[in-house]
Amino acid sequence: METFASHSFSVDECAAQLDTFDELLSSKTELSERDDILPFFKKNTQLASFISTYVPDIANPDRIATEYDIFGDFACDLAIGDSTSKSFLLVEFEDAKPNSLFVTAGKKATPEWAPRLEHGLSQVLDWFWKLGDMEKSDDYENRFGARHVSFNGLVVVGRDQQLEAREKIRLRWRQDHTVVHSKKVSVVTFDQLARDLRYRLSRYSQIAQAKQA
């Protein structure tokens, strides 16, 4: 898909879809990117759009695309944008299996980062490279509405129960400190994604109710 679809956010629909996502996480310990994750977020676009809350500059996620083509060379699983602030989040989903985040290498006491996670991060870096290469083109402006827009990346991979306490700290540190060419790249598990979205949705609803009072 080379074009974004217009999107209007609904709190109620997003809440219902988040419940469905929690049910998916509860029903399986392992998740397949192709069979579980991609079909879910392609269908549940309200929850997919709310993932943009990882980017503060996306106040209104009014543009969304799944399996978004990046100038013929790459494709990202999910792209969400704010047409006013010209800010976008590009999301790479990976699978959730015991070796998705860390792998044990020989007799080393400290697990190494898994190839699946490194693959996801490399995907995001390639997207940024291609977008930077095309930034001054007419095609770029037609797609994103300006010759310069802001991009952030997110990799969602693995499950919490697959992590020891130390590896949770390592993952959190990597999430907080990975910046590439001034662009933030976050890494979260599917469980962390669900918790973050649940909290943000509760805050969103509280603010909306306060305004109506």
Name every residue whose Cβ is closer than 8 Å to that of residue 170 and which is 6 or more positions away in sequence.
Answer: none
Q: Higher confidence at residue 103 or residue 209? A: 103
For residue 163, what pLDDT band results from cuts at 50, 70 and 90?
A: confident
Residue closest to 156 by CA, chosen among 85, 101, 87, 75: 101
What confidence score (pLDDT) does residue 74 get? Answer: 95
Going from the C-alpha of 204 to that of each of 9, 22, 50, 90, 209, the distances in angstroms are 12, 19, 11, 22, 9
Average pLDDT over residues 149-157: 95
Distance of CA 75 to the CA centre of its chain: 14
- For 99-146, the pLDDT digits (tens) are 999 998 777 778 999 999 999 999 999 999 999 999 999 999 999 999
Residue 28: the pLDDT is 94
Q: What is the pLDDT of residues 6-65, one digit of tens each?
A: 999 999 999 999 999 999 999 999 999 999 999 999 999 999 999 999 999 999 999 999
